[in-house]
């Protein structure tokens, strides 16, 4: 996921926007170090790494022609009082970042909302 915020801030007289992106947890420290080494060239304010997130997504080629898919996903998360930290969309996918502690509950809520729930447990590696 890569997201640029709409919020503008003035830093040292220049208008800036926040950019957030995700990488695999195992790559987070390497990404942070690479960004910090690029500070002189990029001129950003700070790098913040949050390893306590989970990404849940719905994927389907026909979603663009199905009104209400995003609303169903968001409603399922809201009913479980799960805060969405970031949202990224494309024609075939909607992804949401949630707190890591809510990841499994978010996945279960989305599966139930789209009637994909089963009785088998699975383990998803980080």
The mean pLDDT of 109-117, rounded to a whole number, is 90
Residues 6+ apart with CB under 8 A from 65: none
The mean pLDDT of 90-98, rounded to a whole number, is 93
Mean pLDDT is lowest, of 62-66, 90-94, 122-126, for 122-126
What was the pLDDT predicted at 11?
Answer: 74
From the list 105, 123, 107, the residue with the least C-alpha distance to 58 is: 107
57's enclosing H/E stretch is: strand 53-59
Laid out side by side, the sheet with 93-99 consists of 53-59, 93-99, 86-89
- The answer to whether 58 and 73 have CB atoms below 8 angstroms apart is yes
| Domain locations along the chain | 2-42, 53-113
Helix 69-79, helix 103-113: angle, nearest 10: 130
The mean pLDDT of 67-75, rounded to a whole number, is 93
Q: Which CATH class is domain 53-113?
A: alpha beta
Q: Which long-range contacts (CB under 8 A, 24 or more apart) does 16-20 make?
A: 16/44, 16/45, 20/86
Polymer length of the chain? 126
Q: What percent of the chain stands above pLDDT 90?
A: 55
What was the pLDDT predicted at 126?
Answer: 63
pLDDT averaged over the chain?
A: 88
The mean pLDDT of 68-95, rounded to a whole number, is 94
pTM to 2 decimal places: 0.79
The mean pLDDT of 86-96, rounded to a whole number, is 92
Q: What is the pLDDT of residues 17-69, one digit of tens each?
A: 888 999 999 999 999 999 999 988 887 778 889 999 999 999 988 787 888 99
Relative to beta strand 14-21, strand 53-59 is unpaired
């Amino acid at each position: 996921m890569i997201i640029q915020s709409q919020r503008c801030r003035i830093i040292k007289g220049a208008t800036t926007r926040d950019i957030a992106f995700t990488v695999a947890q195992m790559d987070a420290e390497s990404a942070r170090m690479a960004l910090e080494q690029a500070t002189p060239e990029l001129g950003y304010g700070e790098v913040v790494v949050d390893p306590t997130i989970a990404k849940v997504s719905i994927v389907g080629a026909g979603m663009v022609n199905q009104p209400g898919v995003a609303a169903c996903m968001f409603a399922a998360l809201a009913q479980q009082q799960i805060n969405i930290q970031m949202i990224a969309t494309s024609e075939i996918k909607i992804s949401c970042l949630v707190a890591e502690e809510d990841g499994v509950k978010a996945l279960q809520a989305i599966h139930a909302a789209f009637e994909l729930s089963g009785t088998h447990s699975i383990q998803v590696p980080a």
